[in-house]
Amino acid sequence: MSDALTNFRKRDAALRKKHLRMARGYRNKLKSDGLIVQEPDDKLGEIGLRLLSFALVVFMGFKVMVLTGLGAEAYSLHLAHLAEGSVYERAGAWLMQIDPVTRALAALVTPLLS
């Protein structure tokens, strides 16, 4: 009897979890036998990817503006100073290093700001 009750509780918990996911959105899927089945729509991955892309674009824009504002020599001096600091400062120096994309974008933006 306890095995049947444990099985029932597992199925009930899975069904409730699926119901909560379906309440956030679902999509219809046509199976190979012609049966139309509703499945939970996982939109979280799409939002996370969009947010990550936006954060990356903003970060690159920040790097370009700082590089353009300070100039390459002063920017490199600041990075060298950061590279001598704590673990977090070294990580920041690594993230803020001048990469080819940043250099190219800064070259495009510099005439616009001058």
CA distances from 56 to 20, 51, 75 (A): 32, 9, 20
Confidence of residue 46 (pLDDT cuts 50, 70, 90): low
Selected residue with higher pLDDT from 31 and 49? 31
Structure tokens belonging to residue 49: 């990817």
Selected residue with higher pLDDT from 40 and 95? 95
pLDDT of res. 40: 85
Confidence of residue 35 (pLDDT cuts 50, 70, 90): very high
Structure tokens belonging to residue 23: 């309440």
Is residue 27 scored above 70 in pLDDT? yes
Query: DSSP H helical segments within 24-99, as ranges?
Result: 44-70, 72-83, 87-96
Model-level pTM? 0.60
